[in-house]
Amino acid sequence: MIRLILKRLLAALPNLLGVVVITFLLTRALPGDPAAYFAGGAATQEAVEEVRKQLGLDRPLPEQFFRYLGELARGDLGLSLTTGQPVRQELISRLPATMEIMLAALLLACAVAIPMGVMAAVRQGSWVDQLCRLITTAGVSLPTFFTGLLLAYVFYFLLGWAPSPLGRLDPMWSPPPLVTGLYLIDAAIAREPAVWWASAKQLLLPVVTMAIFVMAPIARMTRASMLSVLSSDFVRTARASGLSSQTVLITYALRNALLPVVTTLGMVFGFMLGGSVIVEKVFSWPGVGSYAIDALTASDYAPVQGFVLAMGALFVLLNLLVDVLYLMIDPRVRVES
């Protein structure tokens, strides 16, 4: 297991280097001049050139790149020009907000989509199967920004059931003592049920929005995988041996059907990394996605590069987790590549 983890981490280094190179070049190719932006609209050309010199943008591109690599080697992601804070500090403080949405949405999507996919495969043509198809179609068809705005309009503006979609916590409450950065966990550790409930209410609409987005591929893959496994020889043999339907379904069929579902979860998490940017802007969520969008609007290179690099590292760790889950679900599986 340790050897597999080390091998995967070493194999991911070229990918991360590619992410660094592509991100560096793309940020420089984007329209807009950060020097002109921060010098102000009334600044003279001499003032703009002075700001460009202070930012190091007057140097040749290869020199800027190797300087950036040297800063990365020291763990320095640069300084955000819009906030004046180190990018690493900003990402560390904002990443828990993004991860709280993504993890809660993934848990909700799995809790609904996997049982629904199993039931749809067992009872083909039933109302459960039709509902599964409806949800998968809606999840694929509806953009996340539309779903988020619709939920906010219905449950906040019309019905008044949800709190205002503005941030992680209502201003009347103070955040729980920092332990993990996840408000639900920190509030539970601090034994503050009122803060926990307030955080959960703020989290509900963003989580449901993202869960609908990722529920479709999980339910579809679960249904397809279960249909394939249920028609296999070993399932028919288990049934002919007199085993109960529950034992055949859970012990034999579901465990073998989970392997492609785990692969799908890895892909879905990658989609969520991109989808979180839109969800955070819709609900004014102070995560890394909204931070990157604000920096991109201002042509602030360092936060954008730090955001993409952090997301690339998370994706690498996720792929590693998928490999480990493969071995836990089926010990016969050995990942060699």
The predicted pLDDT at position 335 comes to: 47
Q: List, for residues 126-172, the tens digit of each pLDDT value.
A: 888 788 888 777 777 778 888 888 888 888 888 888 888 888 888 78
What's the rounded Cα separation, in Å, for the pair 9 and 206?
A: 32
The type of residue at 182 is: L
Closest residue by Cα to residue 118 from 245, 284, 2: 245
Domains belonging to the chain, first-starting first, are 2-73 (no CATH), 90-167+180-185+203-329 (1.10.3720.10)
Q: List, for residues 41-89, the tens digit of each pLDDT value.
A: 666 777 777 777 766 777 777 877 888 788 777 877 877 877 778 888 8
What's the burial of 112, exposed, middle or buried (CB within 10 Å: 0-12/13-18/19+)? middle
Whether this model's pTM surpasses 0.85: no
What's the rounded Cα separation, in Å, for the pair 329 and 229?
A: 15
Of 6-10, 107-111, 254-258, 333-337, where does the model show the most confidence?
A: 107-111
Q: Which residues pair with 79 in a beta bridge?
A: 86
Q: Which residues pair with 103 in a beta bridge?
A: none
